[in-house]
Structure 1
Amino acid sequence: MELWKKNLVVCWFGMFVTGIGMSQIAPVLPLYIGNLGIYNTSLIEQFSGIAFGATFIISAIFSPIWGHAADKFGRKPMLLRASLGMAIVIGSMGFVHNVYELIGLRLLQGVITGYSTACTTLIATQTDNEHAGWALGTLSTANIAGSLLGPVIGGFIEENFGPKNVFFITGALLLIAFIITALFVKESFTRQNNKILKIKEVWDSIPYKNLTAIMFVTSFILTMSLYSAEPIITIYVTQLSHNMNHVALIAGMAFSASGLANIIAAPRLGKLSDKIGTHKIMLTSLIAAGLIFIPQAFVKDPWQLMGLRFLLGLVMGGLNPSVNVMIKKITPDFLTGRIFGFNISAQYLGVFGGSILGGQVSACLGIRYVFFITGTLLLINALWVYLKVYKRLIPT
């Protein structure tokens, strides 16, 4: 088996577990914070929001820093640092005595993250252009699937084994990812630029600045779209259920349907992009995603919503790989880690922005408007990509 394929298998597992580790705390937080001596409902909600969102904001700040370190010291050291560090930090969350210690560890988790950045950079630099779409498409399913399935897995562990074991089990999985990475990831790293570049010098070194900025914004909008429904899915399913049993389970299935579809579609759409062009898959997927979001506002029962969420996952599977392949092809090798770090920062901000967007729009205008606004944003993004990417004659 070729080296990049072996590394892809290991990185997929590590990114999947990391995605779970970043998101599994969502359904557990209110219950765990209640066990830490906070009994006022409004305070529990406030602390839950701070503890959940803080990790992603800090991760957005530190991802480019770790991306720069990956370009300077190699990608494997960053994989080992992030996986071991997150194993220790997340496992330690099961031992906290108060909510402030928990928030502190969540902040530290955001600081030491960077596994996804290093993985994406490693696979992007090791894979030839002929197979880049398939490889990065396959890799993207890990992070998205882990992030979307994380709340369901966290809820299952909490219900059956208790909240503390959510952190212990996730920490153990990350420790396994560290061991597998140490044993099986192979990298022959040679630093290509010995000069330490400042942010302005990095930007000046990018040959396609406008196109790179469009990719960052597209990553932000894609992730925000996926997560805009997270705060309201359970409430929406409750409204649609009409006293149906197992509302929480059905809501989890509706939310995770897009993650399952993404796992199915992303490698295939990535492989197709290798044949027909990244820009074509990106534009088509953006338009389809925007159009699929809107009917979710008109569904009559949870199963219709689940079906549309599954279709959404199928078309969204072509977007993250397309963005990553485009970035790979227009970025000099010595900047790959730094640029992918910025792109993953945009995704982390999208997670935070999506949660805020969904909650605020739902509170001010109603749940159905979340789908209208999100669909419109995707269609506007599609128009922008058509005018600025699709019609430009650059290597794709």
Structure 2
Amino acid sequence: MTENKNKKLFKYRMLAPLWIAIFIDVLGFTILFPLVGFFGELFETNNIVIGLIFSVNAMFGFVFGPILSKLSDRYGRKPLLLISQFGTLFAFVLTAFSNTLWMLIIARMIDGMFGGNFPIAKAIISDKVPPKDRGIQMANVGIAHVLASLFGPAIGGFFFTFFGLLGPGLFAAGLTVITIVVTISMLEETWPKEKRLHSHKRTSDVSLKVRENKNALFMLGLWAFHTISFTIIMSSLSFFSVTVLKLSVLDVSFVFMISGIFRAGVRFTLFKPTIKKLGETNAIRVGLVIFFVSFFLIGFSSNVVVIVIIFMFVSFAASLTRGPMNSKISQTASPKIQGKINGLSSGLDSIAQIIGPLAGALIITTLPPYWLGIIVALIALPAIVMSFQNIEKKKYDPTANLINHSMER
């Protein structure tokens, strides 16, 4: 059985350049992410302003990501992926040479505007992989994140310590150049002109069907509470480490790296046996409870060892919940509108990324640290309550759909 799954995982070798490109792209992001807590001192401002800048970055991504995806339907995946990568390259270079706050703001705006890499990557997978294998191939995106988190934070901390922002910025830019070369030379166009000419537009009824799908709306609501609480904590870690724990750049990078190592270990060892034993639904419930307890305890922690241990549990909870919850969301909708339902869950992630950095920085700067744990745990609580509402039964029912259509007629 395991052998068959491994064969499926590496079945579509034509996607190998895409996995290389995604891994390098994520590595560039993980190099800079742990450094965010030090930007306030570097640019002589406060954490709230830095949090706002990174929220604006996510806001631009929320607006422009779908636009780039739609343009890829019209002009092909490869050209738009390259445009996105060149935009990311320019943003990294501008970040590296940022010596004023306005340069950093412009760099983050540009990065958000051209942040269409992942939606286009999902479209490429959808072009080449049939629905029955698509979930397994989508898992490779998660694996790229896990592997990148092993090396990125340490690289970023090292270069920032010895070269300032110039070091990690240029290193990330160099990685993006490699991504562009791989895309140009190795990645084939999966949505050629002949397919584009014969493609037909979906009707506006798709949005209506999702709005009328109570199971889909329920699972999307559950995901919203989870992903907002999760993103606030993750985007606050660098601020918390600097402001509360008083850690150095290398110390913060070490915390992120340890979390990444544990997450990789869980992903490749404990994940499958745990899911097999508990089942997806119970795994989600256990993971959400672990999140709630961990988020609450973070606010009362003032020791780096305790924080590292807590984030080990957070990593375990992430493995148990995020993938299975996405699977549950996709099961609430018709196969004909999978793109729409997955787009809505991705949109909620983008909203969480807009809220997260600003909310985290605001709480840490204006309130005692324990309020971070209390507020985020309260946001996470509704997801736990909702998860016990028979989510295993909230699936797409084609029979009910047919009845609704006949009543409309």
TM range (shorter): 0.7 to 0.9
Contact 2:34 2:238 in 1 (8 A): no
User: Any idea what SS the aligned residue of 1:366 has?
Assistant: coil
Query: Is residue 233 from structure 1 mapped to residue 241 from structure 2 by the alignment?
Result: yes
Query: Is residue 214 from structure 1 mapped to residue 221 from structure 2 by the alignment?
Result: yes
1: distance between equivalents of 2:274 and 2:267?
10
Alpha-carbon deviations, 1:205-249, whole Å to 9, x = none? 4365414633651433433343343321233323xxxxxxx7543
What's the counterpart of residue 292 of structure 2? 290
What's the counterpart of residue 406 of structure 2? none
Amino acid at match of 2:13: K
What's the counterpart of residue 381 of structure 2? 379
Alpha-carbon deviations, 1:144-199, whole Å to 9, x = none? 6657975553332222334223222212211212222344445644468522656x
Q: How far did residue 367 of structure 1 move?
A: 1.3
Cα distance, 1:91–1:249 mapped onto 2, change above 3 Å: closer
Alpha-carbon deviations, 1:70-106, whole Å to 9, x = none? 4555544443332233123322444567543442232
Query: Is residue 262 from structure 1 mapped to residue 280 from structure 2 by the alignment?
Result: no
Contact 1:19 1:146 in 2 (8 A): yes
What's the counterpart of residue 249 of structure 1? 250
**Among 275, 298, 309, the residue aligned to 1:307:** 309
Gaps spanning 5+ residues in structure 2: where? 1-6, 398-409
Cα distance, 1:141–1:292 mapped onto 2, change above 3 Å: farther
What's the counterpart of residue 24 of structure 2? 17
**Among 353, 356, 369, the residue aligned to 2:355:** 353
What's the counterpart of residue 204 of structure 1? 208
2: distance between equivalents of 1:34 and 1:227?
17
Contact 2:285 2:384 in 1 (8 A): yes
Amino acid at match of 1:257: I
Gaps spanning 5+ residues in structure 1: where? 239-245
Q: How far did residue 297 of structure 1 move?
A: 4.5
The share of aligned pairs that are identical, in percent, is 17
1: distance between equivalents of 2:370 and 2:48?
25
Contact 1:4 1:126 in 2 (8 A): no
Q: How far did residue 306 of structure 1 move?
A: 0.8
1: distance between equivalents of 2:41 and 2:308?
31
Alpha-carbon deviations, 1:345-379, whole Å to 9, x = none? 32233234233333333345421232233234333
Cα distance, 1:390–1:332 mapped onto 2, change above 3 Å: closer
Alpha-carbon deviations, 1:305-339, whole Å to 9, x = none? 21221121122123332233334445566655554
Equivalent runs, 1:333-352 vs 2, <5 Å? 335-337=337-339, 339-352=341-354
TM-score normalized with structure 1 length: 0.77
Q: How far did residue 125 of structure 1 move?
A: 6.2
TM-score normalized with structure 2 length: 0.75
Amino acid at match of 1:194: H
Query: Is residue 194 from structure 1 mapped to residue 194 from structure 2 by the alignment?
Result: no
Amino acid at match of 2:238: E
Cα distance, 1:108–1:337 mapped onto 2, change above 3 Å: farther
1: distance between equivalents of 2:362 and 2:82?
38
Cα distance, 1:16–1:275 mapped onto 2, change above 3 Å: farther
What's the counterpart of residue 56 of structure 2? 54
Cα distance, 1:30–1:98 mapped onto 2, change above 3 Å: farther
Cα distance, 1:86–1:362 mapped onto 2, change above 3 Å: closer
Aligned residues: 381
2: distance between equivalents of 1:78 and 1:264?
35
**Among 74, 81, 84, the residue aligned to 2:83:** 81
Cα distance, 1:295–1:45 mapped onto 2, change above 3 Å: closer
Alpha-carbon deviations, 1:55-79, whole Å to 9, x = none? 1121122223334344555544443
Amino acid at match of 2:208: D
Q: Which is further off, 312-321 or 64-73? A: 64-73
User: Any idea what SS the aligned residue of 1:318 has?
Assistant: helix
